[in-house]
A and B are shown apart, each in its own frame.
Chain A
Amino acid sequence: MVDRELSPEDRELLDVLRDALAEADPVPEVLLEAARASFTWRTVDAELAELVADTAVASSAVRGPDAPRLLTFTAGPTTLVVEVGTTGAQRRLLGQIVRPRRAEVEVRHSGGTLNVVADDLGRFRVETVPAGPLSLSCRFPDAGEPPVVTSWVTV
């Protein structure tokens, strides 16, 4: 606990601040509920594709401010590149699976899921998905190949 070395006066002030912030800015109940419910997104059979690159956090000097955002996920030999376009509170996704191959893509967002198909060249497109947390799950036609699910990221 961080309370060591605190003077009684500091401890009291921090206690008042704790009550004050709990009253003024509590964790919204709807978010608490969403956090509990997020457990239902648990996947046990899929391989996790970690986010390895995000142009939003790369040096902005390299890319213009209006360049689309590119997210890159990898799981073993599979790479997934997603371009994110913004229209207000909606996002448009253009995806590319490498090595290119067909896949059923499930788009998971805070409001639910959408399903699209990646073509033979591994390309897919999602016209509109709400801003917020996003994750993609890809299932491949080869039954022996495990599905890939991406790490969640805010878009």
Chain B
Amino acid sequence: MGDRTTAELVRAAAGGDQSAWDEIVERYSGLVWAVARGHRLAHADAADVYQTTWLRLVEHLDRVREPDHLGGWLSQTARHECLRLLRLRGRELPDEDVALGRDSGDTHHGEPTSPGPEAAMLAHEERAAVVAAFTRLSARCQALLRLLAADPAPSYAEVSAALDMPVGSIGPTRGRCLLHLRRLLDRTAGDSVERNGRRSSWLTES
């Protein structure tokens, strides 16, 4: 699995191959979700954008002109659908609706299994601290970092299509956003140093 190119997958899916379609969904699901969640939409609206984007692709499979740029096409389609919903909702959204995870309705924080329970708990706390700091970033930074953190990582062209941001400013903006995130983490690190008696490796100053 995973050895077919995107263009091959698109052609196969256009011919009715469900397994090719499933592989496309696997490959780009994280990207589409990141675009939808990066636009300050309530969870239910983000879910609608995600679904509508995939339904659009079903209809456009044999019309996608450059199958190799499918990620960009999906990013742009999702972004336009986000803007449509933002207009429809009058644009203003209370911040709590945008808060991460809290409203996702299907949180499944199962116990992590691989490391010992103590290490796992610590890792969990670290991740929670990162998410808390992340939500204090500007909307622009959140949207960008969320995309860059999508799995698998999108290309510059896909990020550009998703945010309508020139390719040339992605790198510098990413640098500023990560710097801001690191500062927010350092600010809260004082507490955790006293509590845990250790500094997390990702707080290292560059």
**In contact, A2 and B151 (Cβ under 8 angstroms):** no
Give chain B's interface secondary structure class.
helix
Interface residues as binary, B48-66 with A (CB distance below 8 Å gives 1, 0 otherwise): 1111101110111101000
- Size bracket of the A interface: 35 or more
**In contact, B25 and A31 (Cβ under 8 angstroms):** no
B33 at the interface (CB under 8 A from A): yes
Evaluate whether A153 and B52 lie within 8 angstroms (CB atoms) in the complex, with A7-B206, A22-B151, A25-B104 already known. Answer: yes
Q: Kindly state the separation between the CA atoms of A132 and B60 in the bound complex, as whole angstroms.
A: 19
Evaluate whether A25 and B87 lie within 8 angstroms (CB atoms) in the complex, with A5-B171, A7-B206, A9-B204 already known. Answer: no
A61 at the interface (CB under 8 A from B): no
Interface residues as binary, B38-50 with A (CB distance below 8 Å gives 1, 0 otherwise): 0000000101111
Q: Kindly state the separation between the CA atoms of A38 and B174 in the bound complex, as whole angstroms.
A: 34
**In contact, B202 and A16 (Cβ under 8 angstroms):** yes
Among listed A41-49, A95-103, A115-123, A139-147, interface-contacting one:
A41-49
* 9 residue pairs, one from A and one from B, having the closest CB atoms: A20-B127, A9-B206, A152-B55, A24-B101, A18-B149, A20-B130, A35-B54, A27-B33, A39-B21
**Residues of chain B at the chain A interface (Cβ within 8 Å):** 13, 16, 18, 21-22, 25, 29-30, 33, 37, 45, 47-52, 54-56, 58-61, 63, 81, 83-85, 87-88, 90, 100-101, 104-106, 109, 124, 126-128, 130-131, 134, 145-146, 148-151, 153-156, 159, 170-171, 174-175, 178, 181-182, 201-202, 204-206
**Residues of chain A at the chain B interface (Cβ within 8 Å):** 1-3, 5, 7, 9-10, 12-14, 16-32, 34-36, 38-39, 41-44, 48, 54, 56-57, 60, 65, 69, 110, 131-133, 135, 149, 151-154
Q: Give 27 A-B contacts (CB < 8 Å), ordered by A residue.
A: A5-B171, A9-B205, A10-B174, A10-B175, A12-B202, A17-B130, A17-B134, A20-B131, A22-B151, A23-B131, A25-B100, A27-B33, A27-B50, A28-B106, A31-B47, A36-B21, A39-B18, A39-B21, A42-B58, A48-B60, A48-B63, A54-B84, A56-B88, A57-B84, A133-B48, A153-B52, A153-B81
